[in-house]
Amino acid sequence: MSSIEIFLAVADHRSVTKAARAVGRVPSNVTTRIQQLEDYLGVLLFSRDGKKMTLTKEGETFRGYADRLVALALEARQAVRPLRPSSMLRVGTMESTAASRLPAALSQFNQMWPDVSLQLTLGASRDLTRDVLHNVLDCALIARPPEAMLDADAGFEADLKQLDAEAVFVEDLLLILPSGHPSIQTAADLRVGSMAALEPGCTYRRIAEGWARKSIVLPTTELGSYHAILASVAAGNAAGVMPKSVLDLMHWPATSATYQLAVVDTILISRKNGRPSGVSAFHEVLSATKGRGPPPAPN
């Protein structure tokens, strides 16, 4: 594991502890590698605020080069030691991930392995997990539920324990408030009739509902798309649940108030036995592109 890859893990997770877990290292090793990289470059790459690690201006600049270096390393490995993925790869993904994170990865995967037919299936995290277990899908990108949520859902926890899971990137899960809505600290501060979210199997929805239950009883309006969720927010009827990466793609006033509900890991899950070679190739591409999607839509 190179210092560049460790740097990108910390930048993605904004935490040494979470990055260490993602790359399979102890936190002290990750801290040392970051300090060595900063000493070599002669600049601070991160601003430390307790356990939170935020990229400095120099860190943001370096990240662009780091992403390119990792992508180039992937191409070099493929040139000298080509993987031979099977002719078909069945990939499941959340709708939000498909829209905001996969365009660059899918394009690069197609360029590197044009003979592989990649079939994409959209679904909720819980449903995708079951499809991987039942060999309907080869792998899937899902939102990792918080430990407290898994403790309350023994079935989902048991399913995940049967699978390999690799952290890919991190999402800021937001609550989008209607125009003019005052800022909030808890769900009791909401001045809307409901919370707009996707289907019940959506991890993001379940996180938001768990957060709301700590303060008030707030019904959930189930909608079929993130565009429909934003329309409901715009009408003033609801607060919407979605990751920031999706919001950044939409025509939505940057001044509208939001509230961060959680920081959620996106993981790639696959079966522990009989894993197709295409899954390894797909994971390498995801790691190299870091889930980059199209640029944000203008306001």
Q: Does domain 3-79 have CATH number 1.10.10.10?
A: yes
Residue 299 CA to residue 253 CA, distance in Å, equals 6
* 238 DSSP β-pair partners: 194
Judge whether 88-168+265-289 and 172-263 match in fold: yes
Alpha-carbon torsion angle 244, 246, 248, 253, nearest 10: -90
For the domain spanning 172-263, the CATH number is 3.40.190.10
Distance of CA 161 to the CA centre of its chain: 20
pLDDT value, residue 293? 44
Pick out the chain residues at pLDDT < 70.
1, 74-75, 77-86, 150-152, 254-255, 274, 290-299
Q: Measured in Å, how far apart are the chain's first and last C-alpha atoms?
A: 39
Residue 88 parent element (H or E): strand 88-93
pLDDT given at position 261: 94
Q: Please write the tens of the pLDDT for every residue from 163-216.
A: 999 888 889 999 999 988 999 999 999 999 999 999 988 999 999 999 999 989
Nearest to 287 by CA among 263, 267, 273, 259: 267
Domain spans, the chain: 3-79, 88-168+265-289, 172-263
What pLDDT score does 152 carry? Answer: 67
pTM greater than 0.75 (yes/no): no
Q: Say if CB 32 and CB 5 are below 8 A apart.
A: no
Tokens of 34: 């970051």
Q: Which run of H or of E encompasses 263?
A: strand 258-271
CATH class for domain 88-168+265-289?
Answer: alpha beta
At residue 12, the 3 state secondary structure works out as helix
**How far does CA 156 lie from the centroid of its chain?**
19
> What CA–CA distance (Å, rounded) separates 242 from 196?
9
- What does the alpha-carbon distance between residue 263 and residue 145 come to, in Å, rounded to a whole number? 10
